[in-house]
Every structure is written in structure tokens, then in C-alpha cells.
Amino acid sequence: MVSSAYKKKDLEIEKKVISLLMGKNLTITTPRKMILTILYKERSPFSVLDILNKLPKNCCDQATIYRCLNQFIENHLVETIHLQKDLVHFEFNAPDHHQHHIVCKICNKIDSFQDCILEKIENNLIKKGYKEVRHKLEFFGICEMCQE
Ligand SMILES: [Zn+2]
Ligand SMILES: [Zn+2]
């Protein structure tokens, strides 16, 4: 029972990912489909290495992952997040799912949260005449585990 429910959800995700790629006129290739699925499914920041570890062995190399991610960024499907020094993270760009991140300064663990109080500022900027107003704001701290 459970597995068939999972299957149904995976099928829905696959359909959605294919329609996202087609909507941007990107040819459906296995690496594109698999990489976008990982980001779409989990909605959290991934490094290239995180993505590589999630993909089946020998599915594609790091250069392919970079190439796919750059195409996704150009097409606004994915955005980059600079949370750690010298390490870029990639996250699915979901207009309906706005979130912020906090990084532990000691263990580098990344948490995501949805509270946002900046809508008022964005609305004021829209009133001023700006379009496609967005914001990025990242937080840094020391997590509970690292305080012990
Ligand atoms: Zn920590
Ligand atoms: Zn926000």
C-alpha cells in the first residue's frame, strides 16, 4: 500500500519536472531530469557534491551536473545560495515556497525556515514602481548540538 502511494507521488513529481523542463524548451535528458527531481523534491540547498551523492552511480559526472545547473539557473528554475565560504549551494526556485536559511558556524549544518516578515518591504518597493522584487537574507549562528 505504502509503496504504491510513493510510486504515485514519484510519478507526479516526474510529470511536474518534465513539464518544467519543457516549459523552458530544455530537452529532456536523464541527467537534467534526475538533477531537477532532486532539487524539486527536497526544496533545500544542495552543493554539487550533495547532488552527485544522491544520483545513481555513474549517472553523470560533476561537469555534467554543473552544466545542467547552469542551464537551470539561466532559466530561473534554480537559484544559487551563498551560505558557506567557497561553497555554492543550489536550490529549486519555487515562487510558491519562499524560505530562508540558517547555517551553523561550527558544523556548517543548514536549516531552512519559512517565517518571513519582509513582505511589507517588498510591497512598498512594488508601490515605488519596482517589478519582480525579490530578496535574499541568510542567517548564521551556532546550533544547539554545537553548544554542548
Ligand atoms: Zn552546529
Ligand atoms: Zn523572506
Measured in Å, residue 144 CA sits from the centre of ligand 1 at: 7
Reported pTM: 0.83
Residue 62's pLDDT band (boundaries 50, 70, 90)? very high
Specify the pLDDT at position 3. 61
Whether 46 and 5 map to the same domain: the answer is: yes
What distance in angstroms lies between residue 136's CA and the mean position of ligand 2's atoms?
7
Ligand 1 centroid–CA 102 distance in Å is 10
Rounded to the nearest angstrom, the distance between the alpha carbon of 21 and the centre of ligand 1 is: 36
| Same-domain check for residues 68 and 83 | yes
Place 29 in a pLDDT band, splitting at 50, 70 and 90. very high
User: How far, in Å, from the CA of 101 to the mean position of ligand 2?
Assistant: 10
Query: Region 51-73: what's the mean pLDDT?
Result: 94
Of the chain, the percentage scoring pLDDT greater than 90 comes to 72
Query: Residues 143, 118: one domain?
Result: yes
What does the pLDDT look like over 97-125, one tens digit per residue? 889 999 999 999 999 998 899 989 999 99
Q: How many domains does the chain have?
A: 2
CATH of the domain at 125: 3.30.1490.190
- Ligand 2 centre to CA of 44 (Å) is 15
Question: What are the backbone angles phi and psi of residue 53, rounded to the nearest 5°?
Answer: -70, -25
82 C-alpha to center of ligand 2: Å?
A: 15
Pair 119, 49 in one domain: no
Specify the DSSP class assigned to residue 99: -
Domain span at residue 31?
A: 1-95
Mean pLDDT (the chain, rounded)? 92
Are 91 and 103 within one domain? no
The C-alpha cell 552511480 sits at: 57
For 40-125, list the strands marked E by DSSP: 78-84, 87-92, 100-104, 110-113
Residues in CB range of 128: below 8 A, 6 or more apart: none
Positive or negative, the CA dihedral 56, 57, 60, 61 is positive
- pLDDT-based confidence at 95, cuts 50/70/90? confident
Going by the DSSP 8-state scheme, the letter that residue 1 receives in this structure is -
